[in-house]
């Protein structure tokens, strides 16, 4: 089975770190994200800078530090009070810059005076009138979303073709179940094995999932052949999943990519059948080969059922896409067929097993068998129904993804120097109607972006003594994004360099404003909720 839309899950947009990818200590990541959600992006107007006032002590309070000392007590804490994971922008002053040079093509004299081009009136994410920057306090006790796990999802078994293969913990459960069920069958066929039948059954379970891995590798090789990146292969409770990070560009490639998996399962079934002809029946090798032949045939037939998220559903999607010329039409058709298939499995599988249509005699079916079949049907139906719904949701998102544009989501920014007190910087920003602060050097070159969540964590009566440098995230190459980025390309950049804010620049190098990951997330969610 193939899954190719998961890269656009909502959690992939928002930074799960302290702003540069480093983990936060304690629960800082939660507070950062909650604070970001308190400030929807709005239209901004740029404001001029004044000569910064001298702060009374170079103090940088951490985001989650309680107020326990007086001004005099905190005057010497500059080196230890930075926000977690956010180095001082002042520490990286203009060591690598020429004395009077800013970014390539940038008018440093204009930037130094605070005349950033900035988004025009009406740009931004819209919404209710904004509160002045730094005035909103984070809601107490509000939990943030759970941290995203790494790209794993189980035990790493290897990297064929450079693609990591993981075995999910649920695999061990299904392996034990297969061992128990197949062991019971061996007791009737080969009673002389005794307890050793469970070792043979375990070997069968491993060999069966080896066949599933080959099925998934067929998808992976085809995807790599079409230059589609594959995130990972995961073996789990009900088989395997190849997580392909992009959609096929043509319906023909989509059909091929989906068909190669079931095709290889059919080939494996034929190979096991051919070998079975030269092996004596009623022996351990004969029983194993017969089981592998039947199981691979079942995998192939099941995956060829024409409904998403199965391979057959992707093949149906490709056919409808080819006929209609619209991939969304193909997705809708295959997804609804998938939902109908889920209902058919839920109702039909128990009936077929109860009547003996699947090969077992109805008289031999016990109450426990009936319950097991009904539970299996319910699980399969839930997987198919959920997968079909997810396919619809992600296809709708892809349709609206180009509407995510860095230029329209950018906040206006006010430039301040590193020793500017936070209260003074906020005054300038609020007077200008801006919702972002950029730390600049004396020549106007950008050094860092002040994180909004860090501002909220500083009590108002402490702000006159806190320089903005202690609340800023030093700019890295990945935190400078082009104002022309949009859609999937924009999300790719944000996923490559996780942060809470990004500096948006024009092609000439001029600063356009600041892009908040929280604003992108809000626009992302709106795109998912918007009807096609």
| CA geometry: angle 90, 491, 146, nearest 5 deg | 80
* Residue 522 in tokens: 């809000």
Residue recorded with tokens 């197949």: 182
For the chain, the first-to-last Cα distance in angstroms comes to 26
Q: Is the CB of residue 416 less than 8 Å from the CB of residue 441?
A: no
Torsion sign over Cα 345, 346, 347, 349:
positive
Give 132's contacts (C-beta < 8 A, 6+ positions apart): 426, 429, 430
- Secondary structure of residue 124 in the 3-state scheme: coil
Cα–Cα nearest to 482, from 467, 466, 494: 494
* Residue 303 in tokens: 């995956």
Q: What is the 3-state secondary structure (H, E, C) of 108-140?
A: HHHHHCCCCCCCCCCCCCCCCCCCCCCCCCCCC
Residue recorded with tokens 């942060």: 499
* Residue 61 in tokens: 């309070």
* Residue 478 in tokens: 């990945």
Give 73's contacts (C-beta < 8 A, 6+ positions apart): none
DSSP β-bridge partners for residue 477: none
Q: Is 216 a catalytic residue?
A: yes
The whole-angstrom separation of Cα 418 and Cα 89 is 7
* Active-site choice (5, 16, 216, 521): 216
Residue recorded with tokens 């999937």: 488
Q: Is the CB of residue 442 less than 8 Å from the CB of residue 420?
A: no
* Residue 282 in tokens: 């009623």
Q: Which residues are catalytic?
A: 216
């Amino acid at each position: 089975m193939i899954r190719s839309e998961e890269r656009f899950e909502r959690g992939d947009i928002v930074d799960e770190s302290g702003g540069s990818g480093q983990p936060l200590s304690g629960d800082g990541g939660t507070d950062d994200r909650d604070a970001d959600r308190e400030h929807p992006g709005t239209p901004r107007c740029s404001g001029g800078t004044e000569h910064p006032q001298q702060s009374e002590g170079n103090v940088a309070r951490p985001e989650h530090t309680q107020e326990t000392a007086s001004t005099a007590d905190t005057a010497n804490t500059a080196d230890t009070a930075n926000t977690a994971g956010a180095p001082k922008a002042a520490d990286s002053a203009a060591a690598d810059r020429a004395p009077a040079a800013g970014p390539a093509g940038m008018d440093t004299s204009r930037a130094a005076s605070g005349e950033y081009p900035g988004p025009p009136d009406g740009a931004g994410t819209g919404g209710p009138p904004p509160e002045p920057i730094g005035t909103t306090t984070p809601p107490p006790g509000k939990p943030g979303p759970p941290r995203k796990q790494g790209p794993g999802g189980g035990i790493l078994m290897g990297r064929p073709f450079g693609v990591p293969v993981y075995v999910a913990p649920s695999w061990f459960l299904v392996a034990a179940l297969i061992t128990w069920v197949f062991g019971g069958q061996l007791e009737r066929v080969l009673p002389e094995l005794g307890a050793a039948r469970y070792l043979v059954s375990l070997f069968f379970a491993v060999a069966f999932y080896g066949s599933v891995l080959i099925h998934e590798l067929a998808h992976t090789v085809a995807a790599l052949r079409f230059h589609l990146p594959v995130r990972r292969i995961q073996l789990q409770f009900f088989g395997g999943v190849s997580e392909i990070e992009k959609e096929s560009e043509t319906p023909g490639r989509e059909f091929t990519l989906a068909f190669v998996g079931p095709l290889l399962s059919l080939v494996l079934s034929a190979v096991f059948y051919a070998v079975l002809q030269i092996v004596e029946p009623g022996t351990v090798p004969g029983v194993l080969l017969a089981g592998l032949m039947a199981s691979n045939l079942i995998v192939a037939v099941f995956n060829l059922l024409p409904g998403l998220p199965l391979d057959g559903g992707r093949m149906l999607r490709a056919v409808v896409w080819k006929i209609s010329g619209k991939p969304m039409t193909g997705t809708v058709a295959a997804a609804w067929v998938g939902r109908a298939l889920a209902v058919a499995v839920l109702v039909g599988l128990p009936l077929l097993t109860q009547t003996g249509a699947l090969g077992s005699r109805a008289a031999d079916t016990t109450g426990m068998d009936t319950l097991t079949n009904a539970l299996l049907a319910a699980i399969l139906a839930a997987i198919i129904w959920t997968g079909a719904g997810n396919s619809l949701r992600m296809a709708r998102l892809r349709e609206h993804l180009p509407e995510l544009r860095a230029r329209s989501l950018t906040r206006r920014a006010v430039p301040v120097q590193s020793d500017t007190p936070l209260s003074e910087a906020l005054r300038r920003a609020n007077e200008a109607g801006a919702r972002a602060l950029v730390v600049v050097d004396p020549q106007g070159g950008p050094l860092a972006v002040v994180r909004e969540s860090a501002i909220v964590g500083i009590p108002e009566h402490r702000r006159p003594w806190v320089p903005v440098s202690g609340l800023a995230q030093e700019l890295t190459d990945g935190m400078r994004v082009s104002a022309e980025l949009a859609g999937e390309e924009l999300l790719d950049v944000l996923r490559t360099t996780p942060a809470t804010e990004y500096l948006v620049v024009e092609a000439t190098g001029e600063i356009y404003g600041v892009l908040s990951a929280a604003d992108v997330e809000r626009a992302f969610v709106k795109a998912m909720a918007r009807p096609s």
